[in-house]
Amino acid sequence: AALLAAGAFGIAHAAGAAGGKSSFVAVKDSHFERNGQRYMVAGANFWYGGYLGAPSSVGQRARLVKELDRLKALGVNNVRVLAVSEQTAMKSAVSPATTSAPGHYDEQLLQGLDFLMAELAKRDMTAVLYLNNFWQWSGGMTQYLNWFTGSPAHDPNVSKDYERFMAENARFYTNARAQAEYRNVIAKIVQRTNTVTKKPYRDDPVILSWQLANEPRPGNAKSTKEEKATYVKWIADTAHYIRSLDANHMVSTGSEGLAGSAQDAQLYLDAHRTPDIAYLTYHLWPANWGWFDPKQPDTTWAGMMDKAQHYLNVHVDYAKQLGKPIVLEEFGLNRDGGSFDIKASTKVRDRFYDEVFTTLEKRAAAGDPVGGWAFWAWGGAGRAANADYWWKPGNDFVGDPPQEEQGLYSVFDSDASSLKLIAAHDKRLKTIGAKQ
């Protein structure tokens, strides 16, 4: 009987490895499980994966296949991907976009997602698919408001007024027509049948989770009690809606943690309490948050690392409190000196990655609900096309979306020291998971 069982397990496992009938990733005792085994997310942010998969002009399927092979070889088992974008006049946003106007969707880009999912299945990799964006680089909530209220889609890279941008975006959660269109898009994608594999998305174990949006915030740092309550309700209602369409897959928020919750721990906990949100997410951005100056690494490193360690640990503690896994699904740091040039070294970033990985490995080894991580972001073979490092339609996609310099935080295929580090820690993380 044992031999038979081992044989059967072997076949099932092999099937899983070949992207066959693997089970869905789900939560069991505050950890991820798949095929009856612990599953740790050793992920990479790859926002443009669906774009590369498109059969149309914007698609580069040969590059996509190469990038996924490189990521697989590194031991990456998950990619976090923008599932849908909104056409916008905002300067620093990607174009073309999936939704050209309410009710009008680019089938080519949706087929790009299909192709990506098919390629991930072949490599036994999973995907987190985010269905909206709080930021402007894919149109996002700002564009929905422009469609349905006529408010100007003002690009904060142009206005330099992020506080106003964030406060205005909070109106998305209560605008009935914007929510109706957002739910149309959710239904269209969640209920889609993959044109490459002919498999309904709902039945596809490649999807690790549907994610409400990239970095949804309740508003700006001065969010009111009412705005916070609206945000928590929007999360619970939208997660419930997705689960009503698809009871197979987990739903996640895309939250950055305290930094995206007006530094309000109660809000962050409340936002992740609903049973329809399966796990917690958080992001770690020392340079963006003013903890680190890449031009003054020696004087800012120690203070930054103290804050980062605290941020990493306190969020794992929140996850323990809720009894759910938590994934650090974005983290990054500049190239040395803050350079965007691919030839610049990455010593400081490597040290930062090493400290982040090591901190989370320690918590995982202690049995804490560390679900894994995803670094931001895979640039691979992509290269900045312009002397000013800004993206223009038709240029390569890299890890940095169009609202940032192309090289700011990307990990390129030529960043050998970074790749070595990622590979070593991805392996260690999975080993820790396997031992528990």
Ligand X SMILES: O=C1NC[C@H](CO)[C@@H](O)[C@@H]1O
Residues in contact with ligand X by CB under 6 A are 135, 214-215, 283, 285, 288, 330, 376, 401, 404, 409
Q: Provide the β-strand partners of residue 228.
A: none
Of residues 184 and 395, the one with the C-beta less far from ligand X: 395
- Between CA 125 and CA 123 the distance in angstroms is 5
CB 295 within 8 A of CB 287: no
Of residues 360 and 374, the one with the C-beta less far from ligand X: 374
Q: Minimum distance from CB of 73 to ligand X (Å)? A: 25
Of residues 126 and 406, the one with the C-beta less far from ligand X: 406
Cα angle for residues 182, 180, 146 (degrees, 5° grid): 65
CB 249 within 8 A of CB 24: yes
Q: Minimum distance from CB of 161 to ligand X (Å)? A: 17
Q: Minimum distance from CB of 11 to ligand X (Å)? A: 40
CB 132 within 8 A of CB 216: yes
CB 110 within 8 A of CB 98: yes
- Between CA 326 and CA 25 the distance in angstroms is 14
- Between CA 349 and CA 404 the distance in angstroms is 18
Q: Minimum distance from CB of 257 to ligand X (Å)? A: 12
CA 282 from chain centre, in angstroms, equals 10
CB 42 within 8 A of CB 375: no
Q: Minimum distance from CB of 165 to ligand X (Å)? A: 12
Of residues 210 and 409, the one with the C-beta less far from ligand X: 409
Q: Minimum distance from CB of 32 to ligand X (Å)? A: 22
Of residues 39 and 48, the one with the C-beta less far from ligand X: 48
Of residues 119 and 404, the one with the C-beta less far from ligand X: 404
Phi, psi at 211, each rounded to 5°: -120, 130
